[in-house]
Every structure is written in structure tokens, then in C-alpha cells.
């Protein structure tokens, strides 16, 4: 999820439409709906928060900046074999990983059947042996599963914000238990920075290595990087070198993500 204010230029195309739709949709109790312009398609639960944004001329392209930051896991896991995601939205991350990481097995956990019903409108791939969208509560699934993943991406929101079951110490313990050695957990936080730091402290109590909370340039989202090994302590020169190499394959702002990550890690070390 990303807030409309100070968001990328594409979102501004929806302002006029949103003002007309606000009264109609804001009382829908989290019912998803779609807003389209000539070039963009967006998923909303209300007229303030964009759940997903797709460029209809390039459906796989990541449009909203926080999704590019979440793909920053590539800096530490460039070729993961197993990826799990909580929260489908319009499928931006799922589509990107399916296309650019064809050797990865991808599992998307989404508890809202009405969001899943819209996935074809956002060009989300059909389920297959290596790509699955399951209708289930992500927190409950991770608590009960014996599966393990190289990468776990948490981006679960509803009309009221981040789902409460995705913010508890029990949930974070489940995340830790589901990661393979060297595994990465990335969480999208959108909201009050002070509260996000509370969540970060909960996570750090369960993980042996410190996390890094990267603030987006627009100040509206924060992405938490967590690992169950010391990989987040990679020397700055090596991380920047990785971002340069990966940018030959991935047309996303990995260099920006690496720089923001290193700036925050430096602040945390003071």
C-alpha cells in the first residue's frame, strides 16, 4: 500500500477521478475497486490509499517506488529458489518476480477473495507448479506450515491499514521459523514512523541480527530488511557493486535502494 500524497507522477492522474469516487466508495468496508485512466490502472480500498498501480502499456513494470525497494532483497539474494508473499494487491511484486526470477517458486497468500477475483485484470499469472495465489490468512499459514523460504515479503493491508495479525511478536516468530538459512524478510510499513519503530523492536527481539528500516524518498513508506544471518552487514563497496551488476538485468532503482539502505545502516550504527 502507498499513500497518494507525494507519490509518483502516475498517481496524480487519478486525483480527479478519486474526488468523484470518494463518496461512492469510502463506505464499502474494504471492498476493492479499480480506477483507470488511459495508461494506468489502480486498485483501491478507499480514495486515500493506493493498493496497487499498473502501467497498462508495461504491466510488469514496477510503478510505485516502495515496490522497487522491496525488490532490494535481490542485493542479498540475487537468485532465490523460493519466495512467499503476504498480500496480493494488484500483484505488482508477484508479476515482477514471476517474470524476472523464473527459477523461483512463488507463493502468494491473500485472505480477501474479492482481491483475488481481480487478479486477471492486473495480468497476474494463473496458478501453476511454480506460481500459486492462495486464499488464506497469511499469519495462520506461516504459523502452521513446515515450508521454508529464501525470501518472505509482507505487504498485507486492508481499508484500515496494516492487518493487526501481521504486527504481533507471534507472527514475527513464525516468519523467522519459515526462513531458510540466509533467508530475508522484508516488510512494507505505511503509516506512523513511531509505530513502525515499535514493530521493528518486536522483530529485533526475535532475530539475532539487527534489522534495517529504510525510509522511502517520499517519506510515506518504510521498508524493513531483516535477515537470520549477518548478510545485512555486507561492506558498502560490495553492496554498491552488487547493485551495479544487478541493474543490467533489473530495470529498477537498486542503486537508490542500496544507497538508502547504507545511509540508514550508518545512522543505526552511531
155 tagged catalytic: yes
Could you tell me which of 247, 208, 251, 210 has the C-alpha nearest to residue 75? 247
Active-site position among 46, 79, 155, 251: 155
What whole-number distance in Å separates Cα of residue 256 and Cα of residue 206? 29
Helical residues (DSSP H) of the chain, grouped into ranges: 9-12, 15-25, 65-70, 92-100, 113-116, 138-144, 169-177, 193-206, 236-246, 254-268
CA distances from 154 to 1, 19, 80, 162, 213 (A): 11, 30, 16, 10, 14
CA distance 200 to 6: 25
- Active site residue ranges: 155
Amino acid at each position: 500500500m502507498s499513500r497518494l500524497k507525494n507519490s509518483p507522477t502516475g498517481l496524480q492522474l487519478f486525483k480527479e477521478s478519486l474526488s468523484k469516487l470518494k463518496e461512492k466508495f469510502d463506505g464499502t468496508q474494504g471492498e476493492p475497486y479499480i480506477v483507470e485512466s488511459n495508461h494506468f490502472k489502480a486498485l483501491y480500498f478507499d480514495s486515500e490509499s493506493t493498493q496497487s498501480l499498473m502501467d497498462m502499456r508495461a504491466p510488469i513494470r514496477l510503478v510505485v517506488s516502495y515496490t522497487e525497494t522491496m525488490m532490494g532483497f535481490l542485493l542479498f539474494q540475487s537468485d532465490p529458489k523460493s519466495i512467499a508473499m503476504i498480500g496480493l494487491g494488484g500483484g505488482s511484486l508477484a508479476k515482477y518476480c514471476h517474470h524476472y526470477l523464473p527459477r523461483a517458486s512463488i507463493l502468494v497468500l491473500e485472505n480477501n477473495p474479492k482481491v483475488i477475483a481481480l487478479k486477471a485484470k492486473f495480468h497476474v499469472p494463473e496458478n501453476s507448479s511454480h506460481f500459486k495465489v492462495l486464499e488464506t490468512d497469511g499469519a495462520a499459514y506461516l504459523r502452521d506450515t513446515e515450508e521454508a523460504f529464501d525470501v518472505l515479503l509482507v505487504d498485507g493491508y486492508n481499508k484500515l491499514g496494516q492487518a493487526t495479525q501481521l504486527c504481533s511478536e507471534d507472527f514475527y516468530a513464525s516468519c523467522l521459523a519459515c526462513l531458510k538459512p540466509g533467508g530475508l524478510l522484508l516488510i512494507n510499513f505505511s503509516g506512523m514512523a513511531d509505530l513502525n519503530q515499535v514493530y521493528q523492536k518486536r522483530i529485533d527481539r526475535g532475530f539475532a541480527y539487527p534489522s534495517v528500516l529504510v525510509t522511502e524518498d517520499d517519506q510515506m513508506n518504510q521498508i524493513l530488511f531483516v535477515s537470520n544471518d549477518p548478510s545485512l552487514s555486507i561492506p558498502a563497496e560490495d553492496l554498491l557493486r552488487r547493485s551495479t551488476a544487478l541493474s543490467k538485468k533489473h530495470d529498477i532503482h537498486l542503486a537508490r535502494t542500496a544507497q538508502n539502505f547504507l545511509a540508514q545502516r550508518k545512522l543505526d550504527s552511531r
